[in-house]
Each structure stands twice: as structure tokens, then as C-alpha cells.
Amino acid sequence: MSSGTMKKSHSQWSSRMGFMLAAAGSAVGLGNIWKFPYMAGEMGGSAFVLTYLICMFVIGLPILVLEWLIGRRGQKNPIHTMEDVAVAERRSRNWRWIGIIGVLGSFLILSFYSVIGGWATDYIFLAAKGTFHHIDGEGTSQVFKQFLGNFYHLLTWHTIFMAATAAIVALGVGAGLERSCKIMMPGLGILLLLMVIYAAWVSGPAFGKAFNFLFTPNWSLIDSKAVLAALGHAFFSLSLGMGIMMAYGSYLGQDVNLISTARTVVILDVVVAMLSGLAIFPLVFANNLEPSSGPGLIFVTLPIAFGSMTGGAILGVLFFIFLTFAALTSSISLLEPTVELLEEKTRLGRKSATLISSLVIWLIGIACLLSFNEWSHFKLFDKNIFDLLDFLTSKLLLPLTGLGTVIFGAWMMKQKEIQHELQLNNFWFGIWTVLTRYIVPIAIIVILIYGFME
Ligand code: PHE
């Protein structure tokens, strides 16, 4: 069956722009603002940045394109899309497992993503109340510790964040996902630019230092750990391997050029990560803080900078609004595959499907919350529930699904049709083939193995 001949079974994005903003909204998230800067900080800055850039374009982009392509052919939720497309290619129905694992992954990730989204939302109010005024490192760690220790407090914010996510998703693809991203994404761009300008203005020479830290390549700093982390992060950052982009592709019309759209989304994702670095590191350097302070960078280190400078409270509020927006445009994408599945496979309408899935995710989220306080002693394989979920999803489910998708797309599907659909000439399709048949699968297998040896 050639592309475009399967029947359209449900709604569509209203425009290419709307789709692109929604996909970029999914991609741009905590990964760009929270994870990327601290990883760059820990792994020697520019060397990591360059490796990450290469991984985004060489590994991330082809998988992104394939997820959309398969989703657009199937026009259904990821599980039934995989099944239908596999059958149309005369392959086993069991390829649907890619969809099953993907949906499961997005479901589980949302349960802890919502917890961190809740932290970001609460920090808007903490910054506004002046909690960080003239605070020192001891103080911010104390704030963060107390915050994590308070179950009811965390629960409130997790609930609020999850409710906001559900409210948007319940409205549907056009009125919910697309419209909210059309509002939040430009808002996010403006906030980010304001922050970079502000950071450059208040931190003086430290801005140059931050710039060099991020952009002056020093290849000697690259080691295998940095390469693998960059590879894994490219995956996470583009929301790959979770059925999300496949679900988004299922609402996509035939007229959209996948490669050029993917290129724009990858560029936007990368630019936001870089600009976040340029907003954060000047403040870190100007205040003589540690760039390599790890996951606490934006919740523990950055507030010290906000507390110590003129106008820091405003900047802090802006920063955490920005973080909340970014998290929200990703969390709605995490909920979509499950809702799409329930909507299509049960008699539930969109609203009830959203309500039920959100409730279950909210409950699992509570187990994550408890792992920071009451249940912190409960460990399996030396990991608490939160770490366990993170490990299971980003180290195992995501790469597995990504691997399945690329093997399916490169070895199981008719390549002539793909070449036609992607509108690539023979030269570029040759490159595409080498990437998708060999380089990408091998890279993923290496990440998988490494993830287990760690
Ligand atoms: N891509 C998002 C980010 O960078 C995270 C995410 C992962 C979103 C998986 C959806 C699915 O933060």
C-alpha cells in the first residue's frame, strides 16, 4: 500500500505551523532547560555540546522523520498504527509491540514528569514571594530539601500540574494541543530571549566566559561517557521512542514535508537548549557558583543567583514561568498517545479517556512523590521509585522502541515508497539509507548496552 491510501480516521492539525509548534512544544521541555545545562556543566561544556549537536542531526532527525512517516500512514494510535502499517508491508503483527512499549513509556514518564513540572510551578511562587532574597547555597539546599520532604505540598503541585495537562488534552488535538502550543511556544521564545539579554546585561564579563564554556570546542574533553550521554539525551530531548511523535504524525496531512519540518523542529530544540545555557551559565559564573552541580543546578544553584542580583526576583519568576510552560507543552504530548489509544479502542469519549488516563498517571505519580519522603527507604536494585521509573523509561523503553522503529522503517518497509514520500534524490537517499540501516541502529544498541553497564 502506498502512502496516503489508508483512510483518515480522525482529526488533523489545522496547519503545518500548528503541527510544528506542537512537535517543538513536545521536544522543548525540562530536557532543554533543566537537563541539558547541567549535563553540559558536568561534562565539560562545549565538547559535550558539539557531540550532542551531531547526535541530534545524525541520529535524532532520522528517527523523528520515521516516527512521523509511520504515524501518518497508520492514522491511528501508535499500537494500531504499527500493526496496520506492518500488515500493509506484509510483516508480522507483532511489530505492534513497538507501539505498546512506546505508549507504556509515555505513560510512565508522565507520572514523574508531572512531579517535576509541579516543582517548576511552585518555584514561580517561591521566587515571587522573595524566598531567595540574599539566600546562600546552604539556604537554597535547605529550601529544596524541605520542599521535597513535604508530601502534601508536593502532592498539591503534582495535582495542579496534572490537572492542567489533562484540561488541555481533553480539548482535543486542534483546540487543546495545537492552540495551547501556539500561545505558549512564542511566549516561551520571548521569555527566553529576555532572560538571555538580562543575563548578558547583569553578569558582564561572565557572559563571555559562559559563551566560551558552551561554544569553544575542546575535543580533548570528549570521552565515551560524554558521547553516550549526548546520544541518550538527543533521544529524550526530541521525545523519541515513546509513540509521541507517531501519535502526532497520525494527525498529519499528506502535504507536509517531513524532512524540512523535522529539520526545523530539531533546530528549534537545539536553539532553546543553547539559549537556556546562555541564560543560566552567565549567572552561575558571575556568582562564582559551580557549573557542574548536577540535577540541582536550576532548583538549588540558580536561585542563589536570583537572590543576589538586582531585579533577580523578577528574573526568577520569569525563569520558572518559562520552565513551567516548557514542561506543560511536553506533558500534554506525553498524555496524548494513551488518550488516543483509549479513545479509539474503547467506547470512551475524548474527555472520559483523558480523565481516566490522567487519574492512573496521577496515582503512579504519587508513588514517585513518596519516594522523596515517606518511602525514601524503599529501594529496588538500589533505586527509589522515581529513579527506577527514570531508569526503566529513558535507559530501556525509549531506546528499545527507537531501535524497533528504525529497524522497521529501514529494513521492513518498501524503501522506494519512503524515498518518494521524503522527496529525496538518490544521493540524499543513499545517505538516509546508510544512516537508518546501520549507523542509527548500532548507535542505539551501544546506548542500550552501556545503560545497563552503568
Ligand atoms: N522532550 C522533552 C524534553 O526535552 C521531554 C519528553 C520526553 C517529552 C519524552 C515527551 C516525551 O524535556
Q: How many other CB atoms sit within 10 Å of the CB of residue 321? A: 19
Q: What is the pLDDT of residue 3?
A: 43
Q: How many other CB atoms sit within 10 Å of the CB of residue 411? A: 12
- Round to whole Å and give the CA distance between 439 and 308: 48
Residue with cell 496515582: 363
- Round to whole Å and give the CA distance between 187 and 410: 38
**Which of 35, 169, 239, 275 best tests ligand 1's pocket when mutated (most atoms within 8 Å of CB)?**
239
C-alpha cell at 358: 490522567
- Round to whole Å and give the CA distance between 225 and 441: 19
Instruction: Identify the H or E element spanning 448.
Output: helix 440-453
Q: What is the pLDDT of residue 7?
A: 40
- Round to whole Å and give the CA distance between 420 and 434: 17
Task: Please tell me the distance between residue 413's alpha carbon and the centre of ligand 1 in angstroms.
Answer: 27
**Which atom, in ligand 1's list, is nearest to the CA of 238?**
1
CA-nearest residue for atom 7, ligand 1, is 239
- Round to whole Å and give the CA distance between 40 and 62: 24
Q: How many CA atoms lie within 13 A of 346 on its CB side?
A: 15
For the chain, give me the number of helices (H) and strands (E)?
22, 0
Q: Show the CA angle centred on residue 42, arms to residues 38 and 44, nearest 5°.
A: 115
- Round to whole Å and give the CA distance between 13 and 366: 33
**Which atom, in ligand 1's list, is nearest to the CA of 326?**
12
DSSP string, 248-296: HHTT--TTS-HHHHHHHHHHHHHHHHHHHHHHHHHHHHHTT--TT-GGG
pTM, to two decimals: 0.89
CA-nearest residue for atom 6, ligand 1, is 239
Q: Which burial class, exposed, middle or buried, applies to 375 when counting CB atoms under 10 A from its CB (0-12, 13-18, 19+)?
A: middle
**Which atom, in ligand 1's list, is nearest to the CA of 398?**
9
Enumerate residues 6+ apart whose C-beta is below 8 A from 90.
Answer: none
Task: Please tell me the distance between residue 331's alpha carbon and the centre of ligand 1 in angstroms.
Answer: 8
User: How is the chain split among helix, strand and coil, in percent rounded to 5?
Assistant: 80, 0, 20
Task: Please tell me the distance between residue 206's alpha carbon and the centre of ligand 1 in angstroms.
Answer: 30
Task: Please tell me the distance between residue 308's alpha carbon and the centre of ligand 1 in angstroms.
Answer: 31
Q: How many other CB atoms sit within 10 Å of the CB of residue 436? A: 22
**Which of 67, 235, 237 best tests ligand 1's pocket when mutated (most atoms within 8 Å of CB)?**
237
Q: How many CA atoms lie within 13 A of 391 on its CB side?
A: 14
DSSP string, 46-87: HHHHHHHHHHIIIIIHHHHHHHHHHHHHH-S-HHHHHHHHHH
DSSP SS3 for 239: coil
Q: Digits of tens for pLDDT over the chain (454 positions)?
A: 344 444 444 678 988 999 999 999 999 998 898 888 888 877 877 888 888 999 999 999 999 999 999 999 999 999 999 999 999 999 999 999 999 999 998 988 898 899 989 999 999 999 999 888 888 878 888 888 888 888 898 999 999 999 999 999 999 898 889 999 898 999 889 988 988 998 888 888 889 988 888 888 777 777 777 888 888 889 889 999 888 999 999 999 888 999 999 999 999 999 999 999 998 888 888 888 887 776 778 888 888 888 888 788 888 998 899 899 999 999 999 999 999 999 988 999 999 999 999 999 999 999 888 877 777 777 767 777 777 777 777 778 888 899 999 999 999 999 999 999 999 999 999 999 999 999 999 999 988 888 777 6
Q: What is the pLDDT of residue 82?
A: 93
C-alpha cell at 354: 483523558
Task: Please tell me the distance between residue 88's alpha carbon and the centre of ligand 1 in angstroms.
Answer: 30
Q: What is the pLDDT of residue 385?
A: 74
- Round to whole Å and give the CA distance between 140 and 149: 14
DSSP SS3 for 172: coil
**Which of 30, 266, 336 best tests ligand 1's pocket when mutated (most atoms within 8 Å of CB)?**
30
Task: Please tell me the distance between residue 31's alpha carbon and the centre of ligand 1 in angstroms.
Answer: 6
Q: Which burial class, exposed, middle or buried, applies to 186 when counting CB atoms under 10 A from its CB (0-12, 13-18, 19+)?
A: exposed
Return the bridge partners of 380, or none.
383
Q: What is the pLDDT of residue 137?
A: 79
The Cα-based distances of 202 to 74, 196, 285, 311 in angstroms read: 51, 10, 12, 9
Ligand 1 neighbours (beta carbon < 6 A): 26-27, 29-32, 109, 236-237, 239, 242, 244, 330, 333-334
Q: What is the pLDDT of residue 87?
A: 93
